[in-house]
Amino acid sequence: MNDASKDPQRNAKPHSMYYLAIVCPEQVDEKVRQLKLWMQEKFDCKVALKSPAHITLIPPFWFAAEKEDILLQALHGFKSSEHAIKIELNDFAHFSNRVLFIDIKPNDHLAGVRQEAEDHFFNKLGTIIKKETRPFAPHITIANRDLKPGDFKTAWEHFSAKQFEESFIAEKISLLRLDQGKWHVVAQNKWFS
């Protein structure tokens, strides 16, 4: 037996990274994209450009790519007690000096969908889904991991002086997968009949 056969990574099946979110409609996504492009031009922030504009419901997790059909079944089996929800985007905010985002007006219906999604996917997939311990703070990211603390002050001065108001109706949950460095919508499901 050679040493290569002892390596568990060598025999491991490939995994992909996924997350579940409410993806913004195209017209909102394009406006958010322009803000992300500004951050790229001014501060070389690129990470947020890898995803469409979205509200994360279940943060990224690893799952065996060959079993993606299990994720799709779980997605299509998700139903919420909520109906269509009006999402209101309202100006800008930040988490410490590392994340800039578009804020979302408080919305109990959105929080309800998020809680039901977490419960559903945890029940279907087990501990692959981590139960969130922090309070739900829905937002749409403009810049995150690659925003340098030294650039934050200048970026925040820019955004804090601006207004951003948009709204849209949400009624679908989306499964996104990371492929070649970009997040793509794999499937969507309307959460009520």
The verdict on residue 115 lying in a domain is: yes
Residue 7 within a domain: no
Examine residue 179 and state whether it is found in any structural domain, yes or no: yes
Q: What is the pLDDT of residues 69-82, one digit of tens each?
A: 999 999 999 999 99
Give tens-digit pLDDT for 129-170.
Answer: 988 888 999 999 999 999 999 999 999 999 999 999 999 999
Cα maximum dimension of the chain:
66
Residue 150 belongs to what domain range? 15-190
Residue 38 covered by a domain:
yes
Name the residue with tokens 């690893």.
62
Judge whether 36 lies within some domain.
yes
> Under 8 Å CB-to-CB from 16, ≥6 apart: which residues?
62, 63, 65, 68, 177, 178, 179
Residue 6 lies in a domain: no
Residue 173 inside a domain? The answer is: yes
Count of the separate structural domains present in the chain: 1
Residue partners of 135: CB distance under 8 A and separation at least 6: none
9 located within any domain: no
pTM comes to 0.90
CATH assignment at residue 112: 3.90.1140.10
